[in-house]
Amino acid sequence: MTGTRKAVAALFLLPALVLLGALVLYPIGFSVLRSFFDKSGDFAGVDNYETMFEDSGIRTAVKNTAIWVVFAPAVATALGLIFAVLTERVRWGTAFKIVIFMPMAISMLAAGIIFRLVYEANPDRGVANAVWVGVHDTFVESSHFPSGHPAARSPMKEAGDGAFVTREPVRAGHPVALPLTGVPPNKMPDDAASAKRAEADPGKVTGTAWQDFTRGKGRGEVNAPDAVELGYPGIRIEAVKDGEVVASTTAADDGTFALPKEADGALLRYPASNFREPYDGVNWLGPSLITPAVIGSYVWMWAGFAMVLIAAGLASVPRELLEAARVDGANEWQVFRRVTVPLLAPVLAVVLVTLMINVMKIFDLVFVIPPGSSKDEANVLAVQLYNSAFGDQNDGVASAIAVLLFVLVLPVMWFNLRRLRREAKR
């Protein structure tokens, strides 16, 4: 009645209000005011906002931020939901949750450095490409001889499309020499053995496929295998008559091979598949894949966060409802889609909104992971704000970007407040 309680409440709230004003309201007000001034501090009106939407780099940042907001929270939340549901059904669920949540203990900067190495293009160093190349090579055989080719005086010639063919038809009982050169000694297969001259066989076409190169000037015999030269193990040889393959085989470790009598009178050919460049994987850090690659690193970190919150919500779901649905004949997918997900809707909304706010100000991963050639394609608003403020020294444009970020966050915050008020009325 006397207002004493209001005065006491105001005194208790005063420290919080001072901090709120100094750390939140003042920076927002100053940023809005500064956005109307140019680089030199003169009043510029809305020029900074016009520049913001005319600059191609800032437009790319807006587009990428939209991609982040749409995909990163959705994927992280979906994975968190799947992990939370599945870990309820296994004995080692707690250990699995610890492993999935562990990336949250790593800073964004450290995670960026880790994934810069994971996405390394060289499959000998980059984990992503090592796995990708391993899977690819399981189904598509790579060549050991991508740089192989006939020498100037070789009995072979180019046949087009990367293949090589003998200059003359071959005959059964007359061993054939199929020399190549151009493969560095350190790139030869580990199972390559010393090349041998093939033995004559009246009923077969025999020969040797080998690396016709001996170190040292004047050493070795041209177009004939020497003891120090290596065979081409596994290289494919085809016998071709009238444009059709009538027989084929692969060379042994010492380069020797044998074809059936059907090859008599045919031309022998090294098909182009022998010289296919080895598959080096995907250019994860290239301009076309850099944004999905960085989003992948974010999901790796935050899927555990989503899983923990959703698992907590799942623990409070009445088991009677799930059992009742099963008794009524619903299968596990129907129980998940019609019962579990609707009951978890409030928790899913919290996780989704939290991650949406988080990705709008994503900075560390986008700053660290992309190489210099892909930084422009990976740009987001928070990184562009940093570049404008500290790179271009243009505080006006940087403040305009900050205001844009603030405006973009407002609808998400409004949705969150509405949700909290609805829950408070229940």
* pLDDT (tens digit per residue) in 214-239: 765 556 688 888 888 999 999 999 99
Task: Give the pLDDT confidence of 301-359 residue by residue, as tens digits.
Answer: 999 999 999 999 998 888 888 889 888 888 888 988 889 899 999 899 989 999 999 99
Q: Which residues contact 247 (CB under 8 A, 6 or more apart)?
A: 238, 239, 259, 260, 262, 263, 266
Average pLDDT, the chain: 89
Q: Which residues contact 41 (CB under 8 A, 6 or more apart)?
A: none
- pLDDT of 140 above 80: no
**What's the pLDDT score for residue 219?**
62
In which band, very low, low, confident or very high, does the pLDDT at 121 lie, cut at 50, 70 and 90?
Answer: confident
Distance CA 119, CA 265 (A): 51
**What's the pLDDT score for residue 246?**
94
Q: What SS3 class is residue 256?
A: strand
**What's the pLDDT score for residue 36?**
92
Query: Half-sphere exposure of 269 toward its Cβ, with a 13 Å CA cutoff?
Result: 22
Task: Give the pLDDT confidence of 159-177 residue by residue, as tens digits.
Answer: 888 899 999 999 999 999 9
Task: Give the pLDDT confidence of 252-280 residue by residue, as tens digits.
Answer: 999 999 999 999 999 999 998 888 877 77
DSSP string covering 131-182, please? Answer: HHHHHHHHHSPPPS-TT-B--TT-SEEEEETTEEEESS---TTS-EEEEEB-
**What's the pLDDT score for residue 71?**
96
- pLDDT of 76 above 70: yes
**What value does the mean pLDDT take over residues 11-34?**
90
Q: Which residues contact 280 (CB under 8 A, 6 or more apart)?
A: 121, 122, 123, 129, 133
Distance CA 217, CA 352 (A): 71
**What's the pLDDT score for residue 300?**
95
Q: How far is CA 179 from CA 200, 210, 230, 411, in A?
A: 18, 5, 11, 71
In which band, very low, low, confident or very high, does the pLDDT at 18 lie, cut at 50, 70 and 90?
Answer: very high
**What's the pLDDT score for residue 3?**
62
